[in-house]
Amino acid sequence: MASRKKPAPAPRSTAGRKDAPRRGIGGEPQHQAGGAHPTMTTAQGIPVPDNQNSLRASPRGPGLLEDFILREKITHFDHERIPERIVHARGSAAHGYFELTRSLSKHTTAKVLTEKGKRTPVFCRFSTVAGGAGSVDTPRDVRGFAVKFYTDEGNWDLVGNNIPVFFIQDAMKFPDLIHAVKMEPDRGWPQAGSAHDTFWDFVSLMPESMHMVAWAMSDRAIPRSLRMIEGFGIHSFRLVDAEGGSTFVKFHWRPKLGLQSTLWDEALKLQAADNDFHRRDLWEAIDRGDFPEWELAVQLFTEEDAERFPFDHLDPTKLIPEEIVPLTVIGRMVLDRNPDNVFAETEQVAYCPANVVPGIDFSNDPLLQGRLFSYLDTQLKRLGGPNFHQIPVNAPKCPFAHHQRDGHMQMEVPRGRVAYEPQSLDPEGPRASEARGFRSFAERAPDDARKGRVRPASFADHYSQARMFYRSQSAIEQDHMAAAYTFELSKVGTPHVREAIVGHLRHVDEALAQRVADGLGMDALPAAPDPAAPILDLEPSPALRIIDRMKDTLKGRSIAILVAEGSDRAQLKALKRGVEKAGAHVTVVAPKLRIRLADGKAMDADAQLAGTPSAMFDAVASVLDPDEAARLARDPGAVDWFRDAFNHLKAIAACGGTRKHLFAAAKIKADAGVVEPADVAGFVDAAKGRFWKRSAKQG
């Protein structure tokens, strides 16, 4: 019998070691003279000339498919996670419909935007960006806002966020942005948060991020409910009319319930109380028939209008203030049905900005141009192959016909011998239609257009709109932003990164920079970097605030009433009836889930006090027997229930026992936001907002 040699042990890999030599062609080490940085290359070893800008037909022209550097970079990034999404992994969704209330037939041929009164089915998904699928709902983060319209002309995906601008100007930088904000790869934390070195290091070196960072540090990033956020398409799109003419458009979703956010301390307590707070809130509202609703509004403007703007509308780090181009409401979206299965629908839904219908077209926004490629590539990997469009949540609801065949997870059984075109063997086979088909706007290229990795000079202003956003906020919201910057930067361990961000903030607002520097204990303000373009003092835009735009309503809000043994049933019923009549949802909370009221009859509470902190509600009330209130005053959880509600600036309908015992234990001094439970009308009015003067007194 022939003997077998024992195989030699495989050499240990040096990949990833700091002392591992860089190897070039043929495995030979690449030595860098004088300690210089190695030349960046593609995965094929081809030197990269510019890692900041994608290849474009002209400075403001479209991106080019031949840009193999961009395609390789984004392709690798898109395939880095399976099976959950790389970003927007934690999502909540619902079915509903869109109803057009004003036709845009003057501007577009898209039936979904021209047939007034028509209802189009939709599937809407909300999400956080940075965290994984198993993270939490309430971190400081951007929220995704994606809508799939199942139109008669095919699926239209309006894929945006609850913030109208973005961190970067070119899709080339998207993998870098997400790598920076995700968990640091050597330690695996933090999850679902930007308060760490790599994120702030990245944005400190990317001044174009300053506008979006300001939004992320504002109250927009800690919403009260997904039902109370705005949505934005972010980019400029084109509407194309029957003659081939074009009008630029930006899309806005406006919540019928108005904007609402939390306080930072409140967001932290919500995370501790319920990791699923937002998805539970959305599900339960729809389940009880309180269907969330948004208006769809558009900003319409021409090429000539755009030339007069003091910014470039193709720059995704810029917005168009409503004071310059007002919003026109054209329809409404109502979400009225929860998913039947989270995996089959919420997780498998595949959005792509490239999914548009005839009459809607793209602009040359360089971030949008990259997204048109990236989303489809991502779905191919995440959902297993090219037939993901056959998954029910992704399938169009209109007739469709094509010659695509076979592939992984093919679920259809195409018939016939013909799978190509042109063909003469099947008279029923699908053919292209110039009359009905999608038509791209015939944009004329500039006479001096030269392709290259360039960024137009009109993109160079990185601070003017960040300054406008900050100075548009109310004093209270500015306080919140300063605190957010301070908190986030306090988690950054690298001093020069903290100093660089404060230096950038000097271009946004000198007083803001000073407040953050003081909060971080800096002895002096760091130097501000040289701006790439003159910084403009743009007119403030009051439409960018939240506090001044809160709706005077209790609809869609959640109110808690605390009861215990011996509580008065009649007073509880009157208070509950009045609050529900105003449109709010009431949760009755008690120390135990079953208690006996003053009339001797038992009652089942909706929630237990120990597991239901007041942070989960917009306002709270109490109907307590005085002796029971005295007993609860010895319970730290009950004391915190009222202390948190007061410190979170909420209205409180406090009974006599609560004021005497629990308020005393919590050291609460009643103000105009504290009313008697018998004053139902007063409580309803007070619960519509927060008591911001209480915040100033606390400060």
The per-residue pLDDT for range 308-323, each reduced to its tens digit, is 999 999 999 999 999 9
Token pair belonging to 119: 């209802």
Say if residue 604's pLDDT is above 60: yes
Say if residue 238's pLDDT is above 70: yes
First to last CA, the chain: 88
Token pair belonging to 605: 């509470």
- The overall average pLDDT reported for the chain is 92
Q: At what angle do helices 366-382 and 174-181 cross, to 10 degrees?
A: 70
Instruction: Find out whether 596 is annotated in a ligand binding site.
Output: no
The domain spans of the chain are: 68-166+202-390, 463-547, 552-698
Instruction: Find out whether 227 is annotated in a ligand binding site.
Output: no
Q: By C-alpha distance, which of 195, 288, 164 is closest to 556?
A: 288
Instruction: Find out whether 371 is annotated in a ligand binding site.
Output: yes
Say if residue 332's pLDDT is above 50: yes
Q: Are 334 and 180 in contact (CB under 8 A)?
A: no
Q: How many helices (H) and strands (E) does the chain have?
A: 19, 20
The per-residue pLDDT for range 39-81, each reduced to its tens digit, is 888 878 888 889 899 999 999 999 998 998 899 889 888 887 7
C-alpha–C-alpha distance, residues 85 and 147, integer Å = 17
Specify the 3-state DSSP secondary structure of 193.
Answer: coil
pLDDT for the residue 231? 98
The per-residue pLDDT for range 466-494, each reduced to its tens digit, is 999 999 999 999 999 999 999 999 999 99
Q: Across residues 372-382, what is the average pLDDT?
A: 91
The residues annotated as belonging to the active site are 88, 161
What distances in angstroms separate CA 285 from CA 260, 338, 585, 586, 613, one per listed residue? Answer: 16, 10, 9, 12, 19
The per-residue pLDDT for range 163-183, each reduced to its tens digit, is 999 999 999 999 999 999 999
C-alpha–C-alpha distance, residues 212 and 173, integer Å = 15
SS3 content of the chain, % helix, strand, coil (to 5): 35, 15, 50
Which CATH architecture group holds 68-166+202-390? Beta Barrel (2.40)
C-alpha–C-alpha distance, residues 579 and 620, integer Å = 11
C-alpha–C-alpha distance, residues 401 and 463, integer Å = 49
The per-residue pLDDT for range 101-149, each reduced to its tens digit, is 999 999 999 999 999 999 999 999 999 999 999 999 999 999 999 999 9
Instruction: Find out whether 631 is annotated in a ligand binding site.
Output: no
The per-residue pLDDT for range 645-673, each reduced to its tens digit, is 999 999 999 999 999 999 999 999 999 99
Backbone phi and psi for residue 371, each to the nearest 5 degrees, phi listed first: -65, -30
Q: Are 527 and 553 in contact (CB under 8 A)?
A: no
Q: What is the DSSP string of 105-126?
A: TTT---GGGTSTT-EEEEEEEE
Q: What is the DSSP string of 522-541?
A: -SSPPPPPPPSSPPP-PPP-
* Bigger pLDDT: 697 vs 542: 542
Residue 619: its H or E element: strand 619-622
Token pair belonging to 116: 């007034």
The per-residue pLDDT for range 24-40, each reduced to its tens digit, is 333 333 344 445 888 88
Token pair belonging to 600: 């001797």
DSSP conformational letter for 333: E
DSSP conformational letter for 129: S
Say if residue 360's pLDDT is above 90: yes
C-alpha–C-alpha distance, residues 98 and 119, integer Å = 5
Instruction: Find out whether 174 is annotated in a ligand binding site.
Output: yes
The CATH classification number of 463-547 equals 1.20.1370.20
Instruction: Find out whether 634 is annotated in a ligand binding site.
Output: no
Which CATH architecture group holds 552-698? 3-Layer(aba) Sandwich (3.40)
The per-residue pLDDT for range 607-652, each reduced to its tens digit, is 999 999 999 999 999 999 999 999 999 999 999 999 999 999 999 9
Q: By C-alpha distance, which of 174, 317, 160, 298 is closest to 233?
A: 160
